[in-house]
Chain A
Amino acid sequence: GAVVSQHPSWVICKSGTSVKIECRSLDFQATTMFWYRQFPKQSLMLMATSNEGSKATYEQGVEKDKFLINHASLTLSTLTVTSAHPEDSSFYICSASHGASGANVLTFGAGSRLTVL
């Protein structure tokens, strides 16, 4: 089945530094990937839609200069949290849509837990 690999699974960084999270589709090509953010005991909030070869589409209220998304190939999307602050601490999950079995289904990466000190 479709597999999405995401790393790092967890990262601790100092305030003011930048952190890059990678999301790879291992056995299928993903022209579109989605980045979600999940706070403890809350739902998944869509941050942005990553489109291969073009600019990402950000949801309302998400700062595109803070959360840089690059989708350079059909199997890789990256999310860079720039100048991270403690309020950016969260669980970030990427996902890719694929049409296996006829359904437009999301396959998620394992997530990246970011802690900003």
Chain B
Amino acid sequence: GQQVMQIPQYQHVQEGEDFTTYCNSSTTLSNIQWYKQRPGGHPVFLIQLVKSGEVKKQKRLTFQFGEAKKNSSLHITATQTTDVGTYFCAALFFNKFYFGSGTKLNVKP
């Protein structure tokens, strides 16, 4: 299947520190989406990026789509314990959604 690489696999931060996860594809993407999965839960849609170089913000979360539309990042400023979970990027290939490997974020209070 199509591959979307995501790093890092795990990230442990102290509450208040920043966090970033990166997603890369070898092919140009029409769009990229980000999802969050809390422990024991199911993925929940966060945002979709469509335009080259697009930057979107949701409170402390900043999402960016690369100029070449092959990579994307999610940055969380001043993490809180409520940010704990696994963050996935997802890309649409031939009308199917393929997910990155995910980055598990643990926030120590």
Contacts and interface: CB of A to CB of B under 8 A. Distances in A.
Contact of B48 (A32, A43, A103): A103
**Which 10 interchain pairs have the tightest Cβ spacing?**
A108-B42, A44-B99, A103-B48, A43-B101, A43-B102, A105-B45, A111-B42, A108-B43, A43-B99, A110-B42
Main secondary structure of the interface of A (DSSP, over half): strand
Given A60-B1, A107-B45, A110-B42, A34 B88 contact: no
Interface of B: 1, 31, 33, 35, 41-45, 48, 88, 90, 92, 95-102, 104
A74 interface: no
A106 B42 contact: no
| Chain A residues touching B, range | 20 to 34
A108 B48 contact: no
